[in-house]
């Protein structure tokens, strides 16, 4: 969990990767100062304390390189969604795949969730590589699933069920 004192490092991550990240994350344009995180980070802490998911920093070699979240928790249906982003310079090292696997373990074996979704833009090949590597099932296309700047774009919907994850990892 990131703390208020991580605001500058988080802003630097966004600012240094702004052009790269904004292709798929339109909120990037609204982050113009590290001071904005002074109100955002406490909201993330509240999300965690309310048992409604989390936003976590990803560190590689003692440097903040990305974020991962468990969000849109539906306790009745025992499902949630994972979101993530990673700085361009650390892509292709397996970092995000390991982080998503860790979140899946937490979601299934600690939170007792049944289903996890990942949604990726149909042209976002790098993001799609994560659920593919982890053997998520591609369920289909969510047409006009997200507003991106000046247009809607389609999303692939991937899912993993607890029983599938358990079978993949021979865990019971």
Pairing of strands 79-86, 115-121: parallel
Q: How many domains does the chain have?
A: 1
* pLDDT one-digit tens code per residue, 41-65: 999 999 999 999 999 999 999 999 9
Is the Cα dihedral 144, 29, 80, 126 positive or negative? positive
Span 107-158, pLDDT tens digits: 999 999 999 999 999 999 999 999 999 999 999 999 999 999 899 999 999 9
The answer to whether the CB of 96 falls within 8 A of the CB of 130 is yes
CATH code of residue 139: 3.40.630.30
- Give the pLDDT mean for 74-81: 98
Range of the domain at 116: 4-168
């Amino acid at each position: 969990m990131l703390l208020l004192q991580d605001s500058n490092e988080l802003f630097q991550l966004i600012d240094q990767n702004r052009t790269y990240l904004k292709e798929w994350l339109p909120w990037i344009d609204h982050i113009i100062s590290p001071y904005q995180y002074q109100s955002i980070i406490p909201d993330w802490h509240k999300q965690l304390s309310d048992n409604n998911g989390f936003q976590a920093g990803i560190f590689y070699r003692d440097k903040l390189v990305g974020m991962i979240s468990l969000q849109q928790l539906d306790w009745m249906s025992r499902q949630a969604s994972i979101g993530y982003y990673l700085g361009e310079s650390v892509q292709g090292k397996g970092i995000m795949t390991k982080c998503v696997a860790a979140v899946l373990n937490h979601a299934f074996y600690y939170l007792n969730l049944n289903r996890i979704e990942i949604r990726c833009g149909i042209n976002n090949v790098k993001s799609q590589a994560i659920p593919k590597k982890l053997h998520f099932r591609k369920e289909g296309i969510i047409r006009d699933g997200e507003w991106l700047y000046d247009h809607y774009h389609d999303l692939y919907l991937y899912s993993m069920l607890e029983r599938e994850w358990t079978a993949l990892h021979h865990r019971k």
